[in-house]
Structure 1
Amino acid sequence: MKQLLFVLLLLGNSAIAQIPELPEQVSPLLIGEQVPDAELKSANNTTHKLSDVLAEKPGVLLFYRGGWCPYCNAHLSDIQEVESEIISLGYQIIAVSPDAPENLKITEEDKSIRYKLYSDADGELIKAMGIAFKAPGQYSGLLNEKSGGLNKGILPVPSVFVVSPSGKILFEYINPDYSTRLSGKLLLAILKNL
């Protein structure tokens, strides 16, 4: 029993240790790799497999820190402004954050977001994408609250991935500086050239 407990503690600590301390230290998946499948919750608290969502049509997979982040809200609004053009190019927009479903609903309503917002409150997809890092201490209470108690202190580096219906990464933009985002107009130019 003591050996099992030791092994579990060791495994738990190694999983935590694998998450970088700083956003500059993340190791994201690369262009050409497959996004991992994950279960995400919608703003209506329904469960969706990422593979099923992506199977509908190519996706702009946008990771943001949460509806509490002013830079994220500005980015979500910027993407909203070009949503109809993105859709006319044959893509869908899938935005993922550590926010719990009820907080997604607040963001949707507050920002009049029409595209899909999904919760990765426990951070499993964020970690699997290689964009998770340990949140600075001042965020731990906020993340715990906004995730419904599921986020134990990780944040995603804000990122944009363009993904095929089969889950293959076609393009990515990842910037450890959370105040700098890929503009909607630049995203449109990229999508037109893929």
Structure 2
Amino acid sequence: MKKALSFLTPLLLMLSTSIVFADQPSIDVGPKVGQSSPQISVVDINNQQPTINQLSGQNGVIVVFFRSADWCPFCKKHLIELNQQADKFKKLGFGLAAISYDNTDILKSFSQEKAISYPLLSDQNVETMIAFNVLNTDYQPADDHYGIPYPGVVVIDKNGKVLDKHFFEGYKQRVKFADLHKALAQHF
């Protein structure tokens, strides 16, 4: 147990620094680092309901929360950038998934058009956004964009614990996947 903790401590410290992420500081939303990850309540483009465990690789899963693959150009670019890095994360033993309030038709169309290699997941009931504490509070249930998250990333280990998270209030700032990969590659 001591050995596992001594291994995880430097990883947690390094991942929680903003060096790995975009230049803008993270806002305090999302699950607590070191705690168990909330469950997800989503559907994929085939109307299946995957779990965190099913999405995980041997070392865990990286979950991206994004606004929309339909109308958000920053989200589209970010999802494509993750797709370009996907094999590198998978070689480190991490599964990948991205969650939005978009319906499965939108996600399926974008996934096929851009040949996305990881699951795009729909949270139209907003249950996962609420469970992960990433629901953008600028929008109310009657608003068209109600259900969008603050854009960000949660890294969950193979035991379901949150290793790190980083979220942004603005929609233009995003996690830099090349930097995240570099940080994880030092430990996995």
Q: Could you state the TM-score of these two structures normalised by the residue count of structure 2?
A: 0.76
| Alignment partner, residue 89 of structure 1 | 92
What SS does structure 2 have at the residue aligned with 1:39?
coil
Q: What stretches of structure 2 of length at least 5 have no aligned partner? A: 1-25
The one-letter code matched in structure 2 to 1:190 is A
Asked if 1:163 corresponds to 2:166, the answer is no
Runs of 4+ in structure 1 off by over 6 angstroms are none
Structure having the larger proportion of residues in helix? 1
Measured against aligned partners, the alpha-carbon deviations of 1:128-147 in whole angstroms (never above 9, x if no partner) come to 1111123447x933x4xxxx
What SS does structure 1 have at the residue aligned with 2:136?
strand
Give 2:120's match in structure 1, choosing from 92, 117, 120. Answer: 117
Asked if 1:105 corresponds to 2:98, the answer is no
Deviation at 1:115, TM superposition (A): 0.8
Deviation at 1:49, TM superposition (A): 2.7
Give the RMSD, CA atoms, in angstroms: 2.2
Deviation at 1:78, TM superposition (A): 0.8
Deviation at 1:50, TM superposition (A): 3.0
| Alignment partner, residue 62 of structure 2 | 60
| Alignment partner, residue 79 of structure 2 | 76
Q: Could you state the TM-score of these two structures normalised by the residue count of structure 1?
A: 0.74
| Alignment partner, residue 8 of structure 2 | none
Give 1:132's match in structure 2, choosing from 113, 135, 143. Answer: 135
Deviation at 1:184, TM superposition (A): 1.8
What SS does structure 2 have at the residue aligned with 1:40?
coil
Measured against aligned partners, the alpha-carbon deviations of 1:30-55 in whole angstroms (never above 9, x if no partner) come to 21011111232011112223344337
| Alignment partner, residue 183 of structure 1 | 176
Q: Percent identity?
A: 23
Deviation at 1:27, TM superposition (A): 3.3
| Alignment partner, residue 50 of structure 2 | 48
Give 1:27's match in structure 2, choosing from 10, 26, 29. Answer: 29
Q: 1:52 to 1:83 in 2, by over 3 A?
A: closer
Instruction: Point out the more displaced range, 36-45 or 54-63.
Output: 54-63
Deviation at 1:26, TM superposition (A): 5.8
What SS does structure 1 have at the residue aligned with 2:56?
helix
Q: What stretches of structure 1 of length at least 5 have no aligned partner? A: 1-23, 144-152
